Amino acid sequence: MVARVTLLYAHPYPQRSRAGRVLLDAVRGLPFVDVRALYSLYPDFAIDVEAEQRALLASDVIVWQSPFYWYGAPAMLHHWFEKVLARGWAYGSGGDKLRGKRVLWVTTTGAPDSAYRPGAMHGHPFDAFVPAFQQTAVFCGMRWEEPIVVHHAHQLGDEKLAAAAAEYRRRLEAL
Partner 1 sequence: MGDHGLLFEVTIYLAAAIVCVPIASRLRLGSVLGYLVAGCAIGPFGLRLVRDVHSILHFAEFGVVLMLFLIGLELDPARLWSMRRPVFGGGTLQMAACGAALTAAGLAVGLPWQAALVAGLALALSSTAIAVQTLKERGQLTSPLGSTAFSVLLFQDMAAIPLIAVVPLLSGSSTGSAGTAALKVVGAIAAVFVLGRYVTTPLLRFVARTGLREVFTAFALLLIVGIAQIMSAAGVSMALGAFLAGVLLASSEYRHALETDIEPFKGLLMGLFFIAVGMSIDFGLARERPLSIVALVVGLVAVKALTLAAIAGALSVSPKQRWTFAAVISQGGEFAFVVFGVAGQAHLLPGKWGAMLTLVVALSMALTPILLLVHDRILVRDERRDREADAIEHEGAPVIIAGFGRFGQIVGRLLFASGIRATLLDHDPDSIELLKKFGFRVFYGDATRLDLLHAAGAEHAKLVVVALDDIDASTRLVDLLREHFPQARIVARVRNVTHYLELRGRGVNEVERETFESALRAGRRALEQLGVDPYQAREYADRFRRHNVETLEELLPHMSDETRRLSVARAAREQLEVQFAQDRADFEGTSGEWTDAKE
The footprint of partner 1 on residues 35-54 (CB under 8 A) is 39-41, 43-44
Interaction between residue 110 and partner 1 (CB under 8 A): yes
HEC sequence for 76-92: HHHHHHHHHCCECCCEC
Question: Counting Cβ atoms within 10 Å, is residue 114 exposed (0-12), middle (13-18) or buried (19+)?
Answer: exposed
Interaction between residue 19 and partner 1 (CB under 8 A): yes
CB 90 within 8 A of CB 132: no
> In this complex, which beta carbon is closest to partner 1, that of residue 53 or of residue 109?
109
Instruction: Tell me how far, at minimum, the Cβ of 57 lies from partner 1, in Å.
Output: 25
Interaction between residue 88 and partner 1 (CB under 8 A): no
Interaction between residue 158 and partner 1 (CB under 8 A): no
CB 150 within 8 A of CB 161: yes
CB 7 within 8 A of CB 103: no
> In this complex, which beta carbon is closest to partner 1, that of residue 22 or of residue 62?
22
Residues in contact with partner 1 by the rule CB under 8 A? 12-20, 39-41, 43-44, 67-70, 76, 108-111, 121, 153-155
